Amino acid sequence: MNFVFTLILCASVLCLIFISPDSVLSSLIEGTGNGLTFAVKLFAVYGVWLSVLKIWEKLNFDKFCARKSIGLLKKFFPGENDSCYADLSVNLSANFLGMGSAGTPAGINACKKMISPKNKTMLIVINSTSIQLIPTTIVAIRTAHSASSDIILPTLISTFLSTFIGIVMVKIFVKNKK
Amino acid sequence: MKYVIPCLILITLIVAVIKKVSVYDSFIEGAKEAAKLIVSLLPFLTSVFVLIEVFEASGLNVYISKYLGYVFSFFGIPKELSELVIIRPLSGSGSLGVLENILLEYGPDSYVGKCASVVCGASDTVFYIVAVYLSASDDKRAPLAVPISLIASFIGTVAACFLCRFF
**ipTM given for this complex:** 0.81
CB contact under 8 A, A51 and B146: no
Q: Tell me: the pLDDT tens digits for A60-84?
A: 888 888 888 888 888 889 888 888 9
CB contact under 8 A, B124 and A130: yes
CB contact under 8 A, B37 and A50: yes
CA B11, CA B153: separation in Å to the nearest integer? 36
* Residue B106 confidence (pLDDT) above 90: yes
Residues of chain B found within 8 Å of residue A176, distances taken between Cβ atoms: none
Residue B161 — very low, low, confident or very high, per pLDDT cuts 50/70/90?
very high
* Residue A20 confidence (pLDDT) above 80: yes
Average confidence score pLDDT of chain B: 87
Per-residue pLDDT at B28: 94
- Across the interface, of B37, B49, B96, the residue whose CB is closest to A35 is B49
CA B165, CA B24: separation in Å to the nearest integer? 52
Residues 6+ apart with CB under 8 A from A30: B53, B57
Alpha helices in B75-110 (DSSP H): 82-87, 92-106
Domain boundaries, chain A: 24-173
Note the pTM of the prediction, 2 decimals: 0.82
Residue A98 — very low, low, confident or very high, per pLDDT cuts 50/70/90?
low
* Residue A178 confidence (pLDDT) above 70: no
Nearest-neighbour CA in chain B from A76: distance (Å): 15
Most distant CA pair in chain B, distance: 62
- Across the interface, of B23, B31, B124, the residue whose CB is closest to A47 is B31
Average pLDDT over residues A83-98: 84
